[in-house]
Structure 1
Amino acid sequence: MIEPRTMATAGLHDAYGRRIDYLRLSVTDRCDLRCSYCLPKGFDGYAEPEDWLTFDEIARVVAAFASLGVQRFRLTGGEPLMRRRLPSLVERLSAIGGVRDLSLSTNGTQLARHAAALRQAGLTRLNVSLDSLDKGCMREVTGRDSLDAVIAGLMAGKAAGLAPIKLNMVLMRGVNDGEVERMAAFCFEHGFILRLIEVMPMGERGRNAHYLPVSAVLPGLIARFGLAPSARELGGGPARYWQTPDGQGQLGVITPISQHFCATCNRVRLSVEGTLYLCLGQEDKVALRPLLRAGCDDAELCAAIVAAIRRKPEKHHFVEAPAKIVRFMSQTGG
């Protein structure tokens, strides 16, 4: 296993001077939901299991990124809890030197069964997708009656001591925009952090997902809950945070379309097949699996990662060319 090296102190930088310290890592492209902005009905273009990175290969990639100064790692999908023995992978990754922050993004449907094991294995925090507190709306958005399972997962994560738990709500005009205040009140009551996210036009489903800017709902939330801007750093991502007057309730907003944050982008994504995607809104990518399966050594793997990061684009083109990205979010890795 690669050990953190002196070069890690300098960090990993792209051609625009941005420090890359966050890898989002897909462990499966399967999902038990069919969210309207993510996967089309009837989609079956999944990667074959033999093409998935093995746990050994995932650990090698994480160790390589950690040796280059990347400290934050998030397991994503698809739905990552559909990957068998995921807690054992969490245990392996959390033990790698240089891994300071290991988290998980999930739709929450299977979280109640796995939360305690994940926490024991070394997972620290969670992002859970929940777009509505209305059963009918959740059925419409996710394709199944999923609300009760997600709520149970949230409560199990809280009971297991995973913190913070961020609740991701994708805003959709005419679908869930009337529920934002109710969702905020729910999160503030239970100690969850609500994050409002603008839908991104990835694939045909994403381009037809009733885009709504955060600015359409934020003023009402500020007035209703007395929110003020917060300077707290909560996970190293692109969210800008607001807080309640007592500082206990936190609200994050993620605005990739209306106010993009490309100039401070600090992340790349690795698909389940080992393809390193350098930007959600571009097609720039580098395949790492062929290197791994050809028997590359640690130095070659690190060199390939460094060269890939130098190719990271300056910004996405979601606004200028919304039809450019044809892959779905689940194929990219969360």
Structure 2
Amino acid sequence: MSQKPRTSQLVDKFGRTVSYIRLSVTDRCDFRCTYCMAEEMTFLPRQQVLSLEECLRLARVFVDLGVTKIRITGGEPLVRKNVLWLFQQLGRLEGLKELVLTTNGSQLERFARPLVEAGVRRVNVSLDSLDPDKFKRITRVGDLNKVLRGIAAAKEAGFAGIKLNTVMIRGVNDDEFCDLVQFAVDHEIDIAFIEEMPLGDVGHSRLHTYYSSDDALALLESRFELVSSTETTGGPARYWRIPGTRTKVGFISPHSHNFCAACNRVRITCTGELFPCLGQNDSTNLLPLLRAHPDDDQPVRQAIIDAMGIKPRGHDFNLFQAKPKVIRFMSVTGG
């Protein structure tokens, strides 16, 4: 990937420069995590989903407009047929500085090394519990041992960075936060704790399961020395270092410490909808433009530039609403 500098053309009305896109390549997943999707999901027919070639075309347009970081998400991106081809093509894009992946880890055992060879620098792996039974309750169908083997394969493959993502769910996994950090320390990887986001009607009140980053930090400080750090990976997490280890502990806090003022990212769903904000419903549909103008990128390019005008000041999540304002599931928007 080239380090060639480009002047970004993606600046919203609040002066924030968009340099980072999260591109979903599928709504399908081999897990059914309780905070992400319903137990019985109806997935999209293939013709409504971006082809891998269309994903690549969109990525090229965004990079040409000044985006330097692309994160591939899902659903579970590694269940998409032939997805390795897309990573290989993205890894060659001139101007792209960072290609990263978010995964549930279920397919990492076989994909880790080819992903590194394709140019993926960092990988985030969802891990909400180290207890096999609890892990299966959270994911409904997931096999913890398969994920742990995937993490081991990722370490062996040589990613520049591996980070665990743990969604904090009060009364479910809050008794494991210290153990999860110890796991990260023992394996010399990073971990980020995420406040549950009110997206989609998942059948429980997020107000009752909400666990704040401040409470989690206080809990972890009872067992670990945590030193505040100014390090960033380009996303919303704030980090603490554990002296004498290689581990960073991050917190993503959409409720307790709103990070919208520095937002540098937009999301593209697997259906080609560009959402300037995860927590709002405004979007721009790029798929019809891609298919109506197969040999001309200018219409989709202009639509992307225009979409910066609908990027809101913030997501305005509200735990006290009986029903979430955003009814689409997290898996629909892209993790």
What TM-score do the two structures reach when normalised by structure 2?
A: 0.94
Task: Give SS of 2:201's match.
Answer: helix
Moved more, 151-160 or 246-255: 246-255
Select the residue among 106, 109, 122 that pairs with 2:106: 109
- Give the CA deviation at 1:11: 4.3
1:306 aligned to 2:315? no
Contact 1:238 1:265 survives alignment (8 Å) = yes
- Give the CA deviation at 1:316: 1.1
The structure-2 alpha-carbon separation of the partners of 1:257 and 1:324, relative to structure 1 and needing over 3 Å to count, comes to same
Moved more, 209-218 or 145-154: 209-218
5 Å-filtered alignment, 1:1-334, equals: 8-44=6-42, 46-205=43-202, 208-209=205-206, 210-233=209-232, 235-246=233-244, 248-295=246-293, 297-319=296-318, 323-334=324-335
Task: Give SS of 2:33's match.
Answer: coil
- Give the CA deviation at 1:317: 2.3
Contact 2:52 2:83 survives alignment (8 Å) = no
Q: Which amino acid letter does the alignment assign opposite residue 181 of structure 1? A: C
Rounded Cα–Cα distance in structure 2 between residues aligned with 1:287 and 1:4: 30
- Give the CA deviation at 1:14: 0.6
- Give the CA deviation at 1:10: 4.0
Rounded Cα–Cα distance in structure 2 between residues aligned with 1:331 and 1:171: 20
The structure-2 alpha-carbon separation of the partners of 1:103 and 1:12, relative to structure 1 and needing over 3 Å to count, comes to same
- Give the CA deviation at 1:145: 4.5
Moved more, 138-147 or 177-186: 138-147
Rounded Cα–Cα distance in structure 1 between residues aligned with 2:333 and 2:141: 23
Deviations 1:150-182 (A, max 9, x none): 100000011001121010000000100000000
Q: Which amino acid letter does the alignment assign opposite residue 174 of structure 2? A: D
Rounded Cα–Cα distance in structure 1 between residues aligned with 2:221 and 2:229: 12
Contact 1:108 1:153 survives alignment (8 Å) = yes
Deviations 1:239-280 (A, max 9, x none): 000001236221000000111111111111111111111111
Rounded Cα–Cα distance in structure 1 between residues aligned with 2:142 and 2:35: 17
What TM-score do the two structures reach when normalised by structure 1?
A: 0.94
Rounded Cα–Cα distance in structure 2 between residues aligned with 1:222 and 1:84: 43
Rounded Cα–Cα distance in structure 1 between residues aligned with 2:125 and 2:331: 15
Rounded Cα–Cα distance in structure 1 between residues aligned with 2:97 and 2:197: 29
- Give the CA deviation at 1:324: 1.1
Moved >4 Å (runs of 4+): 3-6
Task: Give SS of 1:291's match.
Answer: helix
Rounded Cα–Cα distance in structure 1 between residues aligned with 2:229 and 2:160: 18
Overall identity of the aligned pairs, in %: 43
- Give the CA deviation at 1:4: 11
Unaligned runs of 5+ in 2: none
Task: Give SS of 1:224's match.
Answer: coil
- Give the CA deviation at 1:299: 2.3
Task: Give SS of 2:30's match.
Answer: coil
Rounded Cα–Cα distance in structure 2 between residues aligned with 1:124 and 1:12: 24
Rounded Cα–Cα distance in structure 2 between residues aligned with 1:93 and 1:137: 36
Rounded Cα–Cα distance in structure 2 between residues aligned with 1:5 and 1:130: 35
Moved more, 215-224 or 83-92: 215-224
Task: Give SS of 2:130's match.
Answer: coil
- Give the CA deviation at 1:309: 1.4
Size of the aligned set, in residue pairs, is: 329
Rounded Cα–Cα distance in structure 2 between residues aligned with 1:23 and 1:10: 13
User: Pairwise CA RMSD of aligned residues?
Assistant: 1.8
Contact 1:275 1:288 survives alignment (8 Å) = yes
Contact 1:4 1:68 survives alignment (8 Å) = no
Rounded Cα–Cα distance in structure 1 between residues aligned with 2:285 and 2:142: 37
Task: Give SS of 2:223's match.
Answer: helix
- Give the CA deviation at 1:223: 3.6
Rounded Cα–Cα distance in structure 2 between residues aligned with 1:236 and 1:293: 32
